[in-house]
Chains A and B, each alone.
Chain A
Amino acid sequence: MSGARAGIDRPAFRRGLRAGIPFALAGGLLSLSFGALAVDSGFPVAAAIAMSAVVFAGSAQFAAVSIAASGGGLGAATVAAALMNSRFLPMGIALGPSLPGGPVRRGVEGQAVVDASWAMAARPDGSFDRSFLLGSTAVQYVTWVAGTVAGAIGADAIGDLDRFGLDAVYPTFFLVLLVAELRAGRGRGAAAGGALVALALIPLAPPGVPVLAASLVALAGVRRGARPAAGTDPHGGGRPR
C-alpha cells in the first residue's frame, strides 16, 4: 500500500477540516436535538451517545428513533434507517474510483461519506478529493458525537425540541448544501425534479423511499457525459462559503 495515491494529501486534508467546520457546528446543533430526542424516547443516555458514535448518520438516526418511539418494531426502525441511508449507495459508487488500495481499505474509507463532505469533495470531472473528504468528515464526526452528549445529558432541561425550532435545523442544513450547488449553476432542473418526486411520494411511501426514488432523477444526466470543468479549482463552485 505505497505510492502517493494511497497517502493523505495534508494540505487537502486541512482544507477539508476548515471547510467542514461550519457544517460541523451546524451538525452539532442537529445532534444535540438528536440526543435529546433519543433520551426523550426512552434511550439510556449512553445508548444515545453510542448510536451517534457508531451510526453517524443523522437522518437514519432520527428515522430509527422516531419509529421506535412511536411503537414501531426493530425491523421497521432498521429498514427506515437503511432507506434513509440508501442515498449513500450511489454516493459510494461515485466515490469508489477515487479511493486507493484493496477492497477492505476502500470499504473502510467509504465510511467517511457524509452529505456535506461528499458534496464539497466532488470535482467537476466526477472524481473526488479523498483527503479533503476525510478532513471534512473528521471535524464533523467530533461535533456530531459531542452534540449528542450535550443533548442526551441535557434532555430534561431542553424539554420540547420544537419549542426551540430545532426541527428546522435538519432541513436547513441540507438546503444550504443545495443552495451552493444551485448557485454554481449545477443541476437546477434535477433539483426541481427530485423535490417534486419526493413531495409526491411522501404520503404514499414509507420514510426514506421518497429520497431514494428522487435520486433516480439524476439518471437524466446519463447521456450528457462529463461536463467541461468550470475552472481549475478542484472544488469549483461546490464549496459553500
Chain B
Amino acid sequence: MSVDPWALIALCALVTVAIKAAGPVALGGRPLPRRLTGVIVLLAPTLLAALVVTGVAGREGELQVGAEAVGVAAGGAIAWRGGSILVCVVVAAVLTAALRALS
C-alpha cells in the first residue's frame, strides 16, 4: 500500500465529520420548507436502492454481477417476507459462499 494509513484515517475522519455536521449546523431550529418534506420522504428509498445496486454490481467502477447477487436477492426475499436482518444477512453470505464453492 502506497499511502500512510494514519494520514488516510485522519483525512477520512475529517471529511466525514464535516459532511455529517454541515446540514445540522446550517439548518437548526427552523422547520424544513413544506415543499421539501416530500423530497426527504423519497430520499431514503432512493439512496438505499442506489447503495444496493452499487454494492452488488459496481466493483472497482465496472458493472459486474456474480454469486453475491443471488445471495443478496435471497436476503431481500426473506426481508420481504418479514425475516430479521440478521437472518437475511447470514443467508445471503452462506448462499454466496456455497455458490462460489460449487462453481
Contact = CB atoms under 8 A, between A and B. Distances in A.
Nearest to A188: B45
Given A165-B94, A181-B45, A210-B58, A51 B12 contact: yes
A37 B98 CA distance: 21
A215 B24 CA distance: 19
A113 interface: yes
Interface residues of A, number: 125
Contact of A96 (B16, B23, B43): B23
Nearest to A50: B9
Contacts of A172: 71-72, 75-76, 88-89, 92-93
A217 B46 CA distance: 7
A228 to B, nearest CB: 12
B89 A240 contact: no
B62 to A, nearest CB: 6
Interface residues of B, number: 82
A202 B16 contact: no
Contacts of B38: 221-227
A7 B45 CA distance: 30
A163 B32 CA distance: 46
Interface in A183-239: 183, 186-188, 190-195, 197-199, 202-203, 205-207, 210-211, 214-215, 217-227, 238
Contacts of B68: 165, 167-168, 171
A165 B44 CA distance: 26
A127 B22 CA distance: 18
A28 B9 CA distance: 20
Contacts of B35: 222-223, 225
Contact of A167 (B6, B62, B75, B96): B96
A26 interface: yes
B1 interface: yes
A202 B61 CA distance: 6
B1 A198 contact: no
- Nearest first, the 4 closest Cβ-Cβ pairs linking A and B are A92-B23, A165-B96, A126-B37, A171-B55
Given A78-B15, A219-B39, 7 more contacts: A22-B86, A78-B8, A87-B51, A111-B17, A172-B93, A198-B49, A214-B46
